Homo-oligomer: A and B are copies of this chain.
């Protein structure tokens, strides 16, 4: 604590103890400096900060006063909102984002913050604090951070994809990327193909755009070919999917399936939007539609949220130059610009050598906890449909007669946030399924609460 912070604390303490009352004058700067044995400039700064944080107010020529209702104002208290909402595509997001720190979140879609490369990120922030002023103050060019685009282009060389920098647009997040693409290519009422199950927010996005979703069952090797062919009869405008590790099933697209879907897409002029956000967590490189079909037929999107930070928002879109140009116009109109600072922080973190080591560490941790979670869940008669090759998700079948939504609601009341199957399912046929994030299933309490709630449901069902 600096001297300034200490002096601020002293004033706050006097207010708390009612030794300084609301509306009363606080000691003059000189008086108080003497009293605390500080320099005058320390108290000047402390008072100024107390004014900007709303504790004191300054009256010109008359000194400083305790602000009315400053921090005790009940209006300015943060309330937790109680949701009674039904399990819809936004249920898991709202619960997870609004959760208290002491809640456990086996249903959420991200790694615990202890798993993220905190020290590398802090180092990057310090570096950026000293870097060129345009990263701190300026808008970025419409395409976004050039070095970060170069990094993204180089990463694609591993997929045999050779991009130029004008084929990449930096966005705010993977979700923002899809939103821009939808706005550019689709109109309300259009049909799109999604996987069933798929990432629940794809469904929320489609709803926000008033689209018609055709859900194609997604199995162990990718979408079911016959169902996909059937879906094409509706003349869908695009197919939105996770490449690499699939959310929520953890499945990996097989080369045969990728080839079949790619041929169908080509024959039918169907655009594929490929969300690549889990790429860093792969052990073996799964096929990508972008590799097979190129930019004429595929738009790839991604972000750095899963392995770097959820607080530093940054994503990207890879598409043909002409489309990127349209997306830029749309981004200016609806968002004006993306955060140049965030892109620079991300770039500095990615290019620090410790980042690669950290990813290796994360992958090892995931493998270890994947095994442990499968074992623990088996004791509750909860089993994954298939064993994922990589990633954080297990798509599990619950014991007979257990409803995922009911179980999620009762676990929520006990401080555990789950991810019930129907949030992921357009066809609503996943009420017996649950997605578990193995990185969020370490605490024993998860299983204790699950046992209790499962038993309560079984008794209810038996009764």
Interface residues of A (CB under 8 A from B): 44-45, 48-49, 51-54, 75-79, 81, 89-90, 93-94, 97-98, 110, 113, 116, 118, 121-122, 125-126, 128-130, 133-142, 146-147, 150-151, 153-154, 162-166, 172-176, 179, 183, 188, 201, 204-205, 207-208, 309-313, 325, 328-330, 332-342, 345, 350-353, 355-356
Contacts of A49 in B (CB 8 A): 351-353
A122 near B118: Cβ-Cβ < 8 Å: no
Contacts of A128 in B (CB 8 A): 125
A173 near B337: Cβ-Cβ < 8 Å: yes
- A140–B310 Cα distance when bound, in Å, is 9
B113 near A134: Cβ-Cβ < 8 Å: yes
Q: Give the number of copies in the complex.
A: 2
Residue contacts A-B, CB under 8 angstroms, 14 given: A49-B352, A51-B353, A76-B153, A94-B329, A110-B139, A129-B129, A136-B312, A138-B310, A172-B313, A175-B335, A201-B336, A208-B333, A311-B340, A313-B337
Chain B nearest CB: distance from A83 CB in Å? Answer: 10
Residue of B nearest to A134 (CB): B113
Contacts of A334 in B (CB 8 A): 175-176, 179, 205, 208
Assess A353 versus B48: contact at CB under 8 Å? Given A78-B146, A154-B54: yes
B341 near A312: Cβ-Cβ < 8 Å: yes
Q: Which of B76, B81, B313 contacts A338 (CB 8 A)?
A: B313
Assess A351 versus B53: contact at CB under 8 Å? Given A75-B162, A90-B332, A139-B311: yes
Contacts of A336 in B (CB 8 A): 93, 173-176, 201
Contacts beyond the supplied A51-B353, A54-B154, A172-B335: 5 A-B pairs with Cβ under 8 Å = A118-B136, A122-B130, A137-B309, A139-B310, A205-B334
Assess A93 versus B136: contact at CB under 8 Å? Given A309-B341, A313-B339: no
- A121–B130 Cα distance when bound, in Å, is 11
A76 near B121: Cβ-Cβ < 8 Å: no
Residue of B nearest to A75 (CB): B164
- Most B C-beta atoms less than 10 A away, residue of A97, A175, A355: A97
Contacts of A98 in B (CB 8 A): 141-142
A136 near B165: Cβ-Cβ < 8 Å: no
- A54–B44 Cα distance when bound, in Å, is 50
Q: Which of B135, B164, B183 contacts A208 (CB 8 A)?
A: B183
Contacts of A44 in B (CB 8 A): 353
Chain B nearest CB: distance from A151 CB in Å? Answer: 7
- A135–B81 Cα distance when bound, in Å, is 21
- A129–B121 Cα distance when bound, in Å, is 8
Contacts of A126 in B (CB 8 A): 125-126, 129
- A166–B350 Cα distance when bound, in Å, is 36
B93 near A52: Cβ-Cβ < 8 Å: no
- Most B C-beta atoms less than 10 A away, residue of A52, A90, A166: A52
Chain B nearest CB: distance from A354 CB in Å? Answer: 8
Contacts of A332 in B (CB 8 A): 90, 93-94, 97, 201, 204
- A173–B331 Cα distance when bound, in Å, is 12
Closest 10 CB pairs of A and B: A48-B353, A204-B333, A125-B129, A311-B340, A113-B137, A313-B339, A52-B351, A175-B336, A311-B341, A75-B164
- A77–B77 Cα distance when bound, in Å, is 51
Q: Which of B79, B93, B138, B341 contacts A113 (CB 8 A)?
A: B138
- A280–B122 Cα distance when bound, in Å, is 31
- A293–B253 Cα distance when bound, in Å, is 56
Contacts of A135 in B (CB 8 A): 311
